[in-house]
Amino acid sequence: MVLTTLLLIIVVVAIFWFMQKRGVKGITSISTQELDNLLANKQDRLFIDVREPHEFKGGHVPGMKNIPVGQISQRSSELPKDKEIVVMCHSGSRSMMAARTLKRLGYMKIVNVRGGMMSWKGKVAK
């Protein structure tokens, strides 16, 4: 009985971990190096930093617009659906939450930056 329960817990945790790592259909994940390349060619893209305003003011990637993750739904009218939306945060977790919200709102071209500001090696604006 204990062994069966333990095995069940291990299987559930493994499935949960796999689903988290797998990502979401329709959301592309890129590295910060790939972000640097996208920033050089901004055509038809909008770059969003979903951290809180005080974090953004403390340092952000030049060219990013600040819309905190908690405001994505309310401020979605500021985001055109015909452009690719690139989202970034401190580590990649909040930006994935924002990307999922955008997906639910009908956005089709969404890119999440893995590693976020923690991995960013380029210039930082304040």
- Catalytically active residues are 89
β-sheet bridge partners, residue 111 = 28, 86
The structure tokens listed for 35 are 């972000």
Rg, C-alpha atoms of the chain: 17
Find all residues with CB under 8 Å of 27, minimum gap 6, and list them: 96, 99, 100, 103, 110, 111, 112
Three-state DSSP state, 22: helix
Q: Distance (Å, rounded) from C-alpha 16 to C-alpha 79? A: 31
